[in-house]
């Protein structure tokens, strides 16, 4: 090898060492920079003449484990999802409160029981009467406050979605911008490596918002998809849109039918036209956005349904009266059946008919529901809480003649016959001589509206001043949001004596305990069915129990859910932190290692410089000899 070749080789060594020292400086300077990946020189030996090997530089290498990075992004989505759910469920638990605390649903209900126990003991005591009404007011106000708390959490989730969409759009725009800067045919220099660091940060940020996967091409350009396969960004970014609704109420619910939906939904608008609903297609399954959607449209809706069901059951238990039908007169023979007095029947009230189909031997239970809004017909069998009944909604807006006509048209094949012998009486008969059917029982449940109806039933609670009867309208069930509207009957606020006096002719004696005993029994030991929409029980086997049982059930369920969510979030945090440490160990900057590397580079630089100095001396000697 000639001196010129030796000089060239030494110079290539100096250049490689200088480049490596520059990267060491960059690594040390960015040791604490978030998202920075340790860099090193990509170099190889090149042939110089017959004997020498120079150093060839090919670019900058990012010390990155792609598999660990993919795992980290997956766990980032999971941890963000778990953290949001845990935070919201802890806040929901605060809305319900701990059973031992005052001012909670359970505490208020227990005080209501205590107040009516006192009234049952001393019905002629004015303070006991006022105390019962006051306890009822506290109960209503507690349910009102719980509704406000739940809807506030739903509004926070809605705004969380909106903020996340803004962040996601910015991240996707930045990823597309960086993709378009990577035009070096796959080569990696220092500038490109820095761009890749920046892009990875935006991808990680996006992964905290939703579950994603990435594909990188030969030009180092990345395409980002949701795990469900929707492309979010390549060289161009899609745009996510969201229409937040702001104020949330119990009736503000998600529906996959756009004409019925009244909460914000997420739409992706593709760069070259076309759009896609990401919510109805369940395209986002993890990350913050998925957590917000699940809370807004499922978890918190069930929480509202629980307190609405509690309010409805409590109100109906006190105000609803079930009256058995009277056997039809002998003049109806050979047909037999019952006469039902529908006086006072309210929208949502139910007529119950039990009959036997003698052809099959099957006993059928029929629930005829009064409906005043025909747009909701027909009703499904889930309109009542009885898992074994057949539900038939009847429009009462046209009067009794129309009611009878609708019933005979709907049930004629069942060999039942309906008529209106007089006034508000509904008669139901079997088929008589053919004996294909037998009416076994019939009753009607009506909601008492008067405080002095002569019955112990007490309309203690109202729906914002109006009667609660479980009506079903085009706006949905009256039960939805009842906990936010429930209030004490204004007549009782003006005259607490009506907690005892249920008849004015004859006047109920001041010491009569009939009504107080009835209310106490209904609240304390009455057993009721509860809707599976509360997340407790199923359609086929709804939860049945006392009001206290139900309250304890849903309060403990929420407590358990909050605890489980906290444990999951803590577990996800441990997994995420472990992965982050692995990534940091593999890709982060270790100052001790860099300093040791710098010392080695200093020695290499000195050695290369010494070679060049020796070659210079050789050239000087050669020139002097000439």
pLDDT lower than 70: segments of the chain: 1, 23, 27, 47-52, 58, 183-187, 594
Specify the pLDDT at position 166.
Answer: 97
> Scanning the structure block, which residue is given the tokens 């090149």?
46
Specify the pLDDT at position 15.
Answer: 78
pTM of the predicted model over 0.95 = no
Report whether 419 contacts 427 (CB < 8 A).
Answer: yes
Specify the pLDDT at position 51.
Answer: 62
In angstroms, the CA 168 to CA 242 distance is: 12
CA distances from 60 to 29, 182, 194, 519, 609 (A): 17, 14, 10, 81, 24
Specify the pLDDT at position 50.
Answer: 62
Specify the pLDDT at position 3.
Answer: 74
Tokens of 431: 């088929």
Q: What's the CA dihedral at 110, 112, 114, 116 to 10 degrees?
A: -150
Tokens of 336: 């037999």
Specify the pLDDT at position 152.
Answer: 96
Q: What is the CA radius of gyration of the chain?
A: 38
Report whether 342 contacts 444 (CB < 8 A).
Answer: yes
pLDDT by residue (tens digit) across 22-63?
767 776 877 777 878 777 777 777 766 666 677 777 677 777
> Scanning the structure block, which residue is given the tokens 């998202």?
35
Tokens of 401: 């003649």
Report whether 369 contacts 347 (CB < 8 A).
Answer: no
Beta-carbon contacts of 622 under 8 Å, excluding residues fewer than 6 positions away, are none
Specify the pLDDT at position 372.
Answer: 95
Report whether 383 contacts 369 (CB < 8 A).
Answer: yes
Residue (of 71, 1, 175, 166) closest to 572 by Cα position: 71
Specify the pLDDT at position 485.
Answer: 97
Q: Kindly give the pairing relationship between strand 389-395 and strand 362-371.
A: parallel
Q: Kindly give the pairing relationship between strand 417-419 and strand 486-488.
A: unpaired
Specify the pLDDT at position 185.
Answer: 52
pLDDT by residue (tens digit) across 5-14?
777 777 777 7
Q: How many CB atoms lie within 10 A of CB 229?
A: 8
């Amino acid at each position: 090898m000639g001196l010129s070749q030796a000089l060239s080789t030494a110079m290539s060594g100096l250049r490689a060492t200088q480049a490596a020292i520059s990267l060491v400086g960059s690594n040390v300077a960015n040791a604490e920079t978030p998202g920075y990946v340790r860099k090193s020189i990509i170099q190889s030996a090149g042939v110089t003449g017959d004997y020498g090997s120079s150093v060839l530089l090919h670019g900058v290498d990012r010390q990155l484990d792609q598999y660990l990075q993919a795992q980290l992004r997956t766990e980032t989505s999971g941890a963000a999802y778990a953290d949001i759910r845990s935070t919201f469920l802890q806040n929901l638990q605060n809305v319900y409160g701990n059973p031992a605390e005052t001012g909670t649903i359970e505490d208020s209900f227990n005080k209501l029981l205590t107040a009516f126990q006192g009234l049952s003991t001393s019905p002629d005591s004015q303070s006991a009467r006022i105390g019962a009404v006051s306890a009822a007011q506290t109960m209503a106000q507690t349910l009102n406050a719980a509704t406000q708390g739940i809807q506030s959490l739903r509004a926070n989730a809605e705004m969380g979605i909106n903020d996340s969409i803004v962040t996601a759009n910015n991240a996707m725009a930045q990823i597309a911008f960086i993709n378009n800067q990577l035009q070096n045919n796959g080569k990696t220099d220092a500038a490109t490596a820095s761009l890749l660091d920046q892009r990875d940060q935006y991808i990680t940020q996006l992964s905290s918002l939703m579950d994603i996967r990435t594909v990188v091409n030969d030009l180092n350009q990345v395409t980002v998809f949701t795990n469900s396969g929707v492309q979010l960004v390549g060289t161009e970014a899609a745009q996510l849109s969201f229409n937040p609704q702001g104020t949330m109420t119990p009736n503000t619910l998600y529906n996959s039918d756009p004409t019925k939906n009244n909460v914000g939904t997420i739409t992706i608008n593709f760069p070259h036209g076309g759009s896609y609903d990401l919510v109805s297609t369940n395209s986002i399954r993890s990350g913050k956005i998925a957590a917000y959607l699940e809370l807004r449209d499922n978890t918190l809706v069930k929480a509202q349904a629980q307190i609405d069901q509690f309010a409805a059951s409590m109100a109906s238990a006190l105000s609803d009266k079930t009256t058995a039908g009277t056997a039809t007169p002998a003049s109806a023979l050979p047909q037999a059946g019952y006469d039902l007095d529908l006086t006072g029947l309210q929208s949502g009230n139910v007529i119950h008919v039990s009959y036997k189909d003698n052809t099959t031997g099957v006993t059928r239970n029929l629930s005829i529901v009064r409906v005043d809004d025909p747009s909701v017909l027909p009703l499904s069998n889930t309109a009542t809480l009885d898992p074994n009944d057949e539900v038939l909604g009847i429009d009462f807006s046209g009067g009794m003649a129309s009611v009878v006509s609708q019933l005979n048209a709907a049930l004629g094949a069942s060999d039942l016959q309906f008529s209106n012998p007089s006034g508000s009486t509904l008669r139901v008969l079997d088929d008589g001589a053919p004996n294909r059917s037998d009416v076994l029982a019939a009753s009607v449940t009506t909601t008492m509206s008067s405080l002095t109806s002569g019955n112990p039933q007490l309309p203690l609670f109202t729906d914002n001043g109006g009667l609660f009867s479980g009506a079903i309208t085009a706006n949905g069930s009256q039960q939805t949001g009842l906990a936010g509207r429930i209030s004490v009957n204004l007549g009782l606020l003006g005259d607490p004596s009506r907690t005892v006096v249920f008849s004015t002719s004859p006047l109920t004696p001041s010491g009569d305990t009939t009504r107080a005993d009835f209310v106490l029994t209904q609240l304390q030991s009455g057993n009721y069915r509860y809707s599976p929409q509360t997340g407790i029980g199923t359609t086929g086997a709804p939860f049945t129990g006392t009001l206290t049982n139900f309250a304890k059930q849903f309060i403990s369920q929420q407590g358990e859910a909050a605890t489980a969510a906290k444990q999951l979030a803590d577990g996800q945090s441990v997994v995420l932190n472990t992965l982050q440490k692995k990534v940091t160990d593999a890709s982060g900057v270790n100052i001790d290692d860099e300093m040791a590397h710098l010392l080695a580079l200093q020695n290499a630089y000195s050695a290369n410089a010494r070679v060049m100095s020796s070659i210079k001396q050789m050239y000087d000697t050669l020139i002097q000899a000439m």
